Structures are given as structure tokens and as C-alpha cells.
A and B are shown apart, each in its own frame.
Chain A
Amino acid sequence: MTTTVAPTTAAPAQPSGRPRAANFLRMLPLSPAIGLMLVFLAGPIIYCLYAAFTNMALTGTGAADVKFVGLENFRKAFGSGAFTNAIWLTLVFTLISAIIGQNTLGLGLALLMRKSNRIIRNFVGTSVIGAWVLPEVVAAYLLSAFFNDEGTLNVMLHAVGLPGQDWLYAAPIIAVSLANIWRGTAFSMLVYSAALSEIPKEIEESAEMDGAGGWRRLLFVTLPMITRAIMTNLMLITLQTLSVFGLIYAMTRGGPGTKSQTLPLYMYEQAFSFSQIGYGTAIALVMLAIGAVFSLIYLRGLNSEAA
């Protein structure tokens, strides 16, 4: 993700337009890394592209003789209710848990932490980041136990005389979205904390002198100054959330029925439970396209901000 900046040496600054040979030599140390990337990253991706247009399978005819089937996998996907359901759930999951949940909660926490004292800041920061550094499966089990019929949440609700909830079964997509918010908010909080610390104090103070209240300061001063961080953060968490698999799998397996079967889970089921590798990779390509569309939208946002 990060771009490294070449360290400035003590040598006198070179004029731009270095000779080609020097450029080549500077690239040489990078070649092993580029080679590895090509083999281990580009390789599987190209294989994926190939598999998506075949009938490849782990058993049956598609295993014995792999044939090109053109766009058949995509036709089959867009004609199937299960796939439409998965797309819809993926969008719901991404919207609720990333774009609304993690993003606004992260921003809120970052804003509150600016104003609070060190002890509270450390306490909140540690607990939020704690949820983030837990292994995904551990977090999923914790949250399953929390939302379970006899789980912590219902015990607490009953204790204060409220009726219990049954989200894991009745509204599983809500349960896994809440779980993902709990687990992923730390990332947004860190991004926004860093961005907010860049804002010069004087600007906010002068806005205050001009009589702008809290909300107006936030809307017209603070947020515009961190637009770039917002766009970058949105892009990263959207792409992370689109491919969340372990959390949902460990909590609900995509069930009950297909009520929490997002695209990654649908892909896994088709490719590994039902052995349809070709069809599964075609779904993966659709996921890639969805990610690309989101990225483009955010990049446009970054561009317009730069203008």
C-alpha cells in the first residue's frame, strides 16, 4: 500500500533525466521481488481468468476434460436466484458494516478521542484495536457466543427486562454486519485519528472565533480538510469488506438457508462444497468487477478533490 520514497543521499542532487543505464541498475535489486510477484500473484490471477471460462470441476466431466465454455458460467450466474441473492447480500453487508458502520463509528471515535484526556484515549484505543487484532475465527466465535440464544447479549437484555433477540437465525446478515463493525472499526479510527492530527489548530480556532458551532465546524472545516483520508479509507474498507469470508463462515456458514450467503461464501460453496471450480472462479471475477467499480468511484472522488 505504501509508496517508499528513495532516501536522499549526501550526493549532490542529480538533474532530472538520468541516463537509462543508471535507471536500469536502480531497478536491478527490485527484480527478485517483481519475479516473485509475477509467479505468485499474477500467476494465480491469470489462471483464475482462464478457469472462469471453462467447465473445470473437482469431479465428474469437468475434471476429466476441461473445456472452454465461453460465457456459460456468467450466463448461469446471472440467471440464478442464489447468485442475485448473494450480490444483494454482499452490497447490504458492505453498506451496513463498512460504509456506514465502520466508517462513521471510526470517525466518531477519532473525533471524541481528540477532545478526551489521555487515560480515556488509551483505554478506548486499546479496546477498539483489541477487537481488530484478534484472529478472525476467534472474533467470530466470540460474536457467535454473544448473539447466541443463551448468549451474553440475551442474558443482558433479559436482566433489564427486555425481550431477547434471535438475529443469528432471523436476521443473520444483520448479526454478521454488527460483528464486522465490531471487528473492523479500529482501522477507520486509526486512519481518521492520523488525518485529524494533521489539521492545524489555528484553523479550527479561527472558525470558532467566527462563531461557528460544533456541527458547523465539523461540516465546513474539519470534514473538507480530511476528504482525502475519507476517500482512501472508504476504498480500503470497502474492498476488505467485499471479500470477508472467515467471519461469516464461522458465524453462520452463510445460513440459515442462504440468508447470509455473500459472494465469497457463495463462491466457496460452489467451488469447494459443490466442486464447480470454473463457476466459482467466474463468481470471483464478478467480485473483482464489483471491487473495481467501487474503487473507480472513490478514485473519482479523490480526483475531484484534487481539482
Chain B
Amino acid sequence: MVTRKRFKAAAALGALLLAVSACSQGSTTKQPETGGSQSAGPANIKIAYQQWGPGTVMKNFLAGVKTEYEAANPGSKVEILPIVASENDYYTKLQLMMRSPNTAPDVVYEDTFLINSDITAGYLKPLDDYIKGWDQWGQFEETAKGAAKALDGKTYGIPDGTDTRALWYNKQLFAKAGLPEDWQPKTWDDVLSAARTIKQKLPGVTPLNVYSGKPMGEASAMQGFEMLLYGTKDSLYNHDQKKWVVGSQGFKDSLNFIKTIYSEGLAPSPKQALDPNMGSKVGTELLPGGKLGIALDGSWIYSNWQKTGAKPWPQWTTVLGQTAMPTQDGGGKGKVSLSGGWTWAIPAKSKNPDAAWNLIKTLQTQKNATKYATDGAQIAVRKDVAEDPGYKNSAKSTKFFTDLVSVTVYRPAFAEYPKVSNEIITAMEAVMTGQSSPDEAAKNYDEAVEGIVTKDKTTTQSTGQ
């Protein structure tokens, strides 16, 4: 017989264990260690990158580099670690790996948007000593050199390309809807009215796609929201005062644009838009399938349609046109673009930093840099690549997107930026699903930003454009 007292004790203990099991889920899990490596001589180098969706460009490029490197350094092995994850999960997995010498890769692919945060976290190794003796560094554009330069003045990553953003539109659908095939919207209203025409004339076609909400992560913040915000008179960060901007009208107007397209049915249904695979869907299904009129998207998306891409589609060069995203009312420079880009970096806890640097040099030979910029649909960051005829003629849209570099804006990618970006996509999602009004969502954003950067690091004045 179980006594009553003992039963109660067991019940209480059981209850406690159940309750804390939720807590222990919060502890970090370690991945099993893959192969030990030596610190000198021939080494095993682990290189990590994000593999999301069916694209094989990076996979094939790295496989080629691996072969080249292993042939040039007998006895060395390159282990490619594709991290299969959506945007936000990729960073989380990578950060967990970089926390321990047992799991840290030797070379990691870091988005410029997160690199400052990871530098602050102490995850990455400064590369200045390596760069000093590297003859290729002079080939990089000055702006690109700053892409992975931290506030301490040191460089932590080697950029392999940048990108710009604009409107892609389907000329065939435009013709059907009676819209001009050489479309040049001058204001947000021009974009909206074209979308409304498509909605009216072409049932079954999604008029306009603007990424929004949490599942698409940074793509929502940058391709979606910031492409709008930087076309207003406001911005995210005041570089003169070194403070984050809150309470701006431009922020509310941008949210209002999101609200308009999602509530009027000019965009995919919020249900569709909140699919973490939306990025792949736009590139491999909606645009090639003639199901989408206008896409606010990046310079790289045609890589889906090349022979090596996820959805080969040679006709894109004639079917699709590109036009710059206009500013809110045509003011300022009249058009907007934002730029990001990715860099190769070495984790502080890498066991073979020297070998890792050798691998980065191999990734960045003129030949390999050109190959990746061409196959990966990048905007070149090296002068010699930009001049390479193979790159220049690689795609019909290359010139258009390279020219946008003259108006492009870089994100205020400081250490707090990823947190601010999270608040942006939370506000977007609240507005697109009708949970909050743009004013409420903007107010919540302001409060959250004050919490992230402290109140005296915020201002209500944007730097004028």
C-alpha cells in the first residue's frame, strides 16, 4: 500500500519535475563532434554555410573549391557543413556551433547584417594580420571593405559580393492588363495603382509581393520594410547623432503601405505570405509560373532560373522587366535600393585559423570570385570581377542592378541591429494580420527599441536624405 503521505510527496515531486522539464528544454544542445583536427600542417577545415531551399549554386561552388584546395594542399581535407535552416534558425545554429571549440567550424558564411553582433559576441577572429600580406585586398571596392569592419576598426570578414533591390515585373501580365511594358513608377501610388489594375484585370494572379512578417526574417525587414522606409523622409538610424530613430511618420507610412496591400488583397494572402518558404516560392513557382505581377525583390533572384538553378527558366530575360523602387512621393533621389551581402569569416574558436585563411584565399582568387559572382547572381565587390566580361554579360539584369549601387543604402548593421530588425518584422506581422493598427504597431516598436538600446540612444529626428 502506498501511504497517503508518500503519495503526496511523489505527486508534488512529479509536478515539479514536469514543470521544470519545460525549463530544461531551454538549455543548449550540443551537436556531436565531427572528427578531431590537428593544429599544424595538413588540416581538416570545416566550412559552414546556409543551405535553404533547393538552390545548388553555393553547394557546387564549394565542392569545386574543395577539390581545388585539397589538390593544392595534399593531406588536407575540407569538410563542407551545409546548415539546412531558414534565415533565423541558421544564425542560431551557427552561433551555437561557434560557442565551443569542439563544434566551431573553421570558416563561416556571415551575413553583413549579423556580423557586428557576432563580433561583439566575440565569436569571430580579426583578419587584419592575414590581410596585410594578401595581394588581392587592393582589388576590393572601398565600400565593400567596410562591410565587415567593426567599430574597433578591425576587419572580420571578406565580402564575396553585394546585392541591390528593386521591382521585378512580368511584362506579359502587364501587357494583358493594359499596363506599359516599360514600366517606370515614380511614387508608391504608381506601384499601388498598377497592382490594383492587375487585381481587377487578371483574377488568379497575385498583383504584388512584398515580404512581410516573422517567417521570412531579415528578408521581410530589408526587402520589404526598409525598401519602403528609406523611400520616406525618415530612416532607422540617425548617423549624425548616432541614435536610433523612433516615432517617425515614415515608419507609420511604411506600415500603412503593408496594411494596404495585405488588406486590399494586392499581396499574397497573409496565410501564404507567412510561409517560411515564401522566398523559394516566389523564385521557383510564382514568377516563372506567371502567377505574380510585381515582386519587390533582390538582384540575385534570377539565379533560380539559370541552368544550374532550382528552376531553369531561360525565358525570364524577355518575360521579366526590372524597374527601380520609387520613393514615397518621388522626392529625394527618386529611387531606393538597399544593399547587404555576405562575408567569409573565421570563428575565434576555430582550431585551424591559418588553414582557414588559406581556404578563404582560395575562395577569393579572381577566378573563383568571378565564378561565384556570376553563378550566385551577386553584384561584384571586386574591381577586377566587375570588369570581367564573363560577369558583365552574365545576366540581362546585371547592369541595371549594378547601376543601383549609386543610390543604394547600407543597413545600420550595428550590434543592436538584429534585435531592431526582429521588432520591425513583429510590427509588420501584427499589421498584415490585422492584429494591430499601424499606429499601435509603431508605438510598440518604439517601446521595444527604447528597451533594446536604452532611451537616451533614441531620437525622433531622422537624418534628412
- Residues of A at the B interface (CB closer than 8 Å) are 1-3, 5, 41, 44-45, 47-48, 51, 57-64, 76, 80-82, 149, 169, 232, 235-236, 239-240, 242-243, 245, 253, 255-259, 264, 267, 271-275, 277, 280-281, 284-285, 287-288, 291-292, 295, 299, 302-303, 306
Contacts and interface: CB of A to CB of B under 8 A. Distances in A.
Contacts of B10: 1-3
B22 A284 contact: yes
Q: Which 9 pairs across A and B sit closest by C-beta, in order of nearness? A: A63-B121, A291-B19, A243-B22, A295-B15, A257-B435, A239-B18, A257-B433, A284-B23, A64-B122
Given A58-B96, A292-B15, A299-B8, 16 more contacts: A44-B27, A45-B23, A45-B24, A59-B91, A59-B121, A60-B415, A62-B121, A63-B95, A63-B99, A64-B121, A257-B429, A274-B422, A275-B418, A287-B23, A291-B15, A295-B15
Contact of A44 (B1, B7, B23, B96): B23
A256 B95 contact: no
B2 A5 contact: yes
Contacts of A48: 20, 23-24, 26-27
B126 to A, nearest CB: 14
A240 B123 CA distance: 37
B26 A280 contact: yes
Contacts of B415: 60-61
Nearest to A49: B23
Given A58-B96, A60-B418, A232-B11, A273 B26 contact: no
A245 B19 contact: no
B88 interface: yes
Interface string B113-124: 010011011110
A264 B19 CA distance: 12
Contact of B92 (A45, A259, A273): A273
B17 interface: yes
Interface in B136-188: none
A264 B415 CA distance: 27
Given A264-B22, A267-B26, A63 B123 contact: yes
B31 interface: no
A273 B24 contact: no
Interface string B16-39: 111111111111100000000000
Nearest to A149: B271
A248 B429 CA distance: 18
B301 interface: no
A202 to B, nearest CB: 22
Contacts of A280: 26
Contacts of B65: none
A59 B95 contact: yes
Contacts of B122: 63-64
Main secondary structure of the interface of B (DSSP, over half): helix
Contacts of A267: 22, 26
Contact of A3 (B7, B17, B118): B7
Main secondary structure of the interface of A (DSSP, over half): helix
Nearest to B14: A1
Nearest to A269: B214
B23 A285 contact: yes
A256 B274 contact: yes
Contacts of B16: 292, 295
B416 interface: yes
A274 B213 CA distance: 14
A62 B121 CA distance: 7
B419 interface: yes
Nearest to B28: A277
B270 interface: yes
B6 interface: yes
Contact of B8 (A41, A169, A243, A302): A302
Contacts of A57: 121
Contacts of A58: 92, 95-96, 99, 121
A288 B20 contact: yes
B20 A45 contact: yes
B92 A255 contact: no
7 contacts: A3-B6, A45-B23, A59-B118, A60-B415, A236-B14, A273-B88, A299-B8
B93 to A, nearest CB: 9
Nearest to A62: B121
B418 A239 contact: no
Contacts of B121: 57-64
Contacts of B96: 58
B435 A235 contact: no
B451 A47 contact: no
A284 B8 contact: no
B429 A255 contact: yes
A273 B8 contact: no
Contact of B11 (A62, A235, A258): A235
Contacts of A80: 448
